Amino acid sequence: MESPGKIKNISAYLGPEYDIEASFGHVRDIPTPSEMPADMKKGPFGKFGIDVDNGFEPYYVVDPDKKKRVSDLKKLLKNADELYLATDDDREGEAIAWHLYEALQPKVPVKRMVFTEITREAIQRAMANTRQIDENLVEAQETRRILDRLYGYEVSPVLWRKVRAGLSAGRVQSVATRLVVERERERMAFRAASYWDVEADLATDAGESFTARLTAVDGTRVATGRDFGDDGALRGSALHLDQAAAQGIAEALRTAPARVANVADKPYKRRPYAPFITSTLQQEASRKLRLSARETMRIAQRLYEGGYITYMRTDSVMLSETALNAARSQARSMYGAEYVPDAPRRYTSSNASAQEAHEAIRPAGDTFRTPSQVSSQLRGSEYALYDLIWKRTIASQMADAVGSTATVQTEAALADGRVAQLSASGTVITFRGFLAAYEEGRDEEDTRARQAAREAGEEERRLPQLSQGDALDVHRTEASGHETSPPPRYTEATLVKALEQKEIGRPSTYEPTLATIQDRGYVIKQGSALVPSWLAFAVTRLMEEHFGRLVDYDFTASMEDDLDAIARGDAQRVEWLQRFYFGDEATSAEGLRDLVADLGEIDARGISTIDIGDGLVVRVGRYGPYVEEVSPAGVDPSTGEMADDAATTPRRATINDDVAPADLTPEMARALLEVSADDGRSLGTDPATGHEILAKAGRYGPYVTEVLPESDAPASRTRKAAVAKPRTASLFKDMDLGTIDLDTALQLLSLPRIVGAHPETGAEITAQNGRYGPYLKMGTDSRSLETEAQLFDISLEQALAIYAQPKQRGRAAAKPPLKELGNDPVNGKPVVVKDGRFGAYVTDGETNATLRRDDDPETITPERGFELLAEKRAKGPSTRRGAKKTTKKTTKKSAKKTTRKTAAKKSD
């Protein structure tokens, strides 16, 4: 199997006659060309690691860090009677099983064992129902791997030449980036519209009150946010109320007689949600638990390996008969028979190609453990995610929530003869049904949807009993102004939802895609919102204009369908890759090879230029984005007069990463230009020297500096002379370039500050700001300060107190463990979590394993710690930097053995 996390439970189920080992994922892959043997680099595999001219044959090698693992497995096979390949039950797992078979070359019978949950019953069923390796699934996964290699290796170099070195393109990542960029473009083009509305508190003769909203005046509907386009213009013929009109109606309503014009009541019914699939689990965990997709999948992996849930990479919403019975029985016992319908609920996926796994994500076992039953084994995020999965599964088999929705229309005759219509709606749930167990969360960022629901009065609330013609008293009126909201930025949850709706990607690709576009710097997280960088704008524009087919949503979705067809055996790998790479003569569609053939037409400067209006553009440069003032040819931007092009230098200013593209208005851009590195913003004159003080934005951050008179400059550049350098000082982290004043700037320029002299030695103590933060210096003895503000106000007594403390020299004193995880099951040594120089890590005293990005030192489980140590041990000792490398000559015969076997060979 792939992961050591499953070994403990499965060993207990199978007994001592089985040896269970982990491959730690893939053991073979296509190497990069630079890692190939010299003779292979010159052959047909040299460009991609794939022979595109001979059936797209890939060249596989055992990964360097897996050679020891493969060797150990081969030794174990010598004494084995059978080999069971028990990798995950999806395409990726099938490919790993095939690669293990090819690398191990077993002489004993081989059986493919699959299961979607780690329970005793599931493992025993899997042992009794083994099969052969599914060649079609292997072909589909191999096609995906070859496709991704060709896509990346052909398109990425174009980005290196035309945008920036080190960038990457990918079949799914480029499309996901385009989605985020398109949403930001919509926000950039968005123009807010202002509108007003009126609400009133109305009361019956019995004293019962409710709030109603103005919906029409003399039969003309009052405009709400949904009546305005993204350009800010009113669509249709609705009545657009401004402040004066709204306040006038609110004032008139206070004395206007009101009555009930109409009461409508209709039944309300709400069905439960389908059980979780990979995408919906990621979305809901983001909404309710604030987990990223990467964190969600890592936690779900541990729950699966621990035997708590079924396999977590699936796009099927189906539940087995066993699971249906378990969920219905548990719901009946916990909530009552009336909460469970007579027949089981069976769900079907809207995606016709959903087939990655057999079931939805649910609690493992023939009977489900309740959250309270696992609370002693699970903690923190693991418990919260299990609780979420359990509730969703149980609720999926419960009865509908039912009730009624009432809508009340009221009328009020205003003094000027107009009639104001107000309405209120409320939903009363009379039977909660599945809501007793679970209710789906909402995306916080979708302010438009919330605003529309509020304006439509769709909140769940109870209204008093009313009849047509009932008189009403007006107790309170209020006019309030609103602005339309731009399209919400994607979150990880909503981006996964968008990819799923467009049928782009599959369950196994969502989490790595989100991680890739963030790791590459295409997308930055601000809170939970995904904000594209300016770099993403440049990359997306290049892809759209020159590789439009590769980032077309329908084309990308069709590729997934084609891979599904290969997995079913309805299409052939070589024929499909032939059309994708070399083109399709039947449809005259260009192939990938032809698309990248001519790069001369790509205007690198134009691709990396984004117009933000008002004569300003953003350019994506080698060292980051910057704003530039663009003027008509031959016009000096400072005077507006004709000038030589060579003499006209546009003003430029660096853009910080924390400024989102849609938030950079022309006004903000011009403010940046005023304090740019070239010009700077004048703060005034230093009264002590008479020098002008400027605030500037530089490559390494904002700073202040003085302007020296020209007489201080050297007379000749050919002669060495003592040149007076202007004083400069970086702004503190809590200072703002736009608001810093002269006094603060002079304080910064006064550093380093003399604090005083040591009373015993006479050594001068100074307060300074350095690369690693603020500190005190006395001779060669430096001591760190806690805050930058201390540089200005620390006293001599306080400084002496700091120096009175013993200085920590050399290696820092050992810190106590952050957490104890218990004894390692392999060697019995105690395992603890420690905080090291490069972050938290787990150790048993001999082996150290750094925690991954999504591992929380406070909530990490013992099983996760043991798994990290096992992975580190399996990799063996790391190669010492600078050690002499030995290259083993690879003969053509051995190289041929490592190439992929044909389908006929595999079937043997």
Give the residue numbers marked as catalytic: 311
| Amino acid of residue 496 | V
DSSP secondary structure string for all residues of 4-55: GGGHHHHHHHH-TT-------S-SEEPPPGGGS-HHHHTSTTTTTSEETTTT
The two tokens of residue 829 are: 């040594």
Task: For residue 227, give the nearest of 457, 480, 455 by alpha carbon.
Answer: 455
Rounded Cα distance between 71 and 839, Å, is: 32
What phi and psi values does residue 586 have, to the nearest 5 degrees?
-65, -35
Q: 538, 620 in Cβ contact below 8 A?
A: yes
Please confirm whether the linkage preceding 275 is cis (ω < 30° from 0): no
Distance between CA 314 and CA 506 in Å, rounded? 8
For 196-238, the DSSP string reads EEEEEEEE-TTS-EEEEEEEEETTEEBP-GGGB-TTS-B-SS-
In the three-class reduction of DSSP (H, G, I as helix; E, B as strand; rest coil), residue 281 is classed as: helix
**What counts of helices (H) and strands (E) characterise the chain?**
28, 31
Angle at 373 between CA 369 and CA 378, to 5 degrees: 100
Rounded to 10 degrees, the C-alpha dihedral 346/348/354/355 comes to 30
Cβ atoms of 477 and 134 within 8 Å: the answer is no
How far is Cα 600 from Cα 282, in angstroms, rounded to an integer? 42
Cα–chain-centroid distance for residue 564? 26
Task: Give the span between the Cα atoms of 493 and 449, in whole angstroms.
Answer: 16
Contact (CB, 8 A) for 274 and 360: yes
Orientation angle between helical segments 293-305 and 278-289, nearest 10 degrees: 110
Q: Are 726 and 692 in contact (CB under 8 A)?
A: no
Segments in 550-622 forming alpha helices (H): 553-568, 573-582, 592-595, 604-607
CA distance 28 to 99: 6
**847 Cβ contact partners less than 8 Å away, ≥ 6 residues apart:** 869, 872, 873
Q: Name the burial class of residue 343, with classes exposed (0-12), middle (13-18) and buried (19+) by CB atoms within 10 angstroms of its CB.
A: exposed
Q: Is 79 exposed, middle or buried (0-12, 13-18, 19+ CB in 10 A)?
A: exposed
> Which is it for the CA torsion 765, 769, 774, 780, positive or negative?
negative
- Tokens 């009336």: give the residue: 338
Distance between CA atoms of residues 149 and 132, nearest Å: 28
Q: Is 264 helix (H, G, I), strand (E, B) or coil?
A: strand
CA dihedral 630, 632, 636, 639 (to 10 degrees): -100
Partner residues linked to 839 by β-bridges: 836
Cβ atoms within 10 Å of 370's Cβ, excluding its own? 14
Distance (Å, whole) CA 158 – CA 607: 12
At 660, phi and psi to the nearest 5? -70, 145
Closest CA to 536 of 516, 520, 515, 553: 520
Q: In this structure, which amino acid lies at residue 567?
A: A
